[in-house]
Amino acid sequence: MDFSTLTWIGLLQVIWINIILSGDNAVVIALACRGLPERQRLIGMVLGAGVAIALRVVFTLFVATLLDMPFLRLAGGLLLFWIAVKLVTDEGEGDDHIQASDKLFHAVKTVAIADAVMSLDNVLAIAAVARDSKAMLVIGLIISIPLIVAGASLIMKLLERLPILVWAGAGLLGWLAGDMMLNDPIVKGYLGGEVVHRFELPAEVVGAAIVIGIAYLIRRTRTAEAV
């Protein structure tokens, strides 16, 4: 690999763009790892960030062409809805009989699934910067890992002090899911690009509202049953 000035600039661009695009990943990592024992939180965050980076490399190198497949974004959006609701409604459920190792595996698995869905859009920007330099892509993403972990750690501390942010994080995933589903090729083909662009914000708001509403109803029902 030729570490010329241009290469270094490109490398910094990959790192910077990945940090910007990983804000939602940091939220997922923090939400998924907040229930882990104190000694396992750092392990969970590092593994979660590592999985996020690895998946982003795979998507960027091999799967970017799948973005144009009909129904892929629709399916991904539905999966993201499910993950968002579970991140809120599973809080504190069954912690007494779940082993620490199982909880760690569950947290990393949640991060992996969510990131696989959310990375579909992010890979295009990263691939555009890295262009044909696979080495630049991989090195830039690997360097980004500690920065994502730091972001997740900060968000986790905020979640502990302000539990309402857990709901805000779930709403963010619903927001992303609404946008993802609206931009599915089959939807764009049916409605037209101009109409889709006009309804992006409403779709995002509705997506967030759906997650918050479903999660609220589930938790309210569980509370009523427990009384």
pLDDT for the residue numbered 97: 39
Instruction: Annotate 104-140 with b (16+ C-beta within 10 A) or e (fewer).
Output: bebbbebbbbbbbbbbbbbbebbbebbeebeebbbbb
Note whether 110 and 83 are within 8 A (CB): yes
pLDDT for the residue numbered 23: 72
pLDDT for the residue numbered 137: 67
Degrees, nearest 5: CA angle 51-147-10: 90
pLDDT for the residue numbered 100: 47
Length in residues, the chain: 227
- The DSSP 8-state label assigned to residue 65 in this structure reads G
pLDDT in single tens digits along all 227 residues of the chain: 444 444 677 677 767 766 666 677 788 888 888 888 888 888 888 888 888 778 777 776 765 566 667 888 888 889 889 988 988 887 644 444 334 456 888 888 888 888 777 766 666 666 656 655 667 767 766 777 777 778 888 888 888 888 888 898 889 889 988 988 998 889 988 888 899 999 999 999 999 999 999 999 998 888 887 76
Can you tell me the distance from the alpha carbon of 111 to that of 168, in angstroms, rounded to the nearest whole number? 17
Parse the chain into domains and list their residue ranges: 5-226
pTM of the model: 0.71
Can you tell me the distance from the alpha carbon of 24 to that of 148, in angstroms, rounded to the nearest whole number? 10
Can you tell me the distance from the alpha carbon of 95 to that of 90, in angstroms, rounded to the nearest whole number? 10
In single-letter form, the type of residue at position 23 comes to G
Can you tell me the distance from the alpha carbon of 27 to that of 23, in angstroms, rounded to the nearest whole number? 6
In the numeric block, which tokens belong to residue 226?
Answer: 């427990």
Nearest to 179 by CA among 128, 227, 96, 122: 122
Nearest to 207 by CA among 112, 116, 74: 74
pLDDT for the residue numbered 2: 47
> In degrees to the nearest 10, what's the CA dihedral of 113, 114, 118, 122?
-70
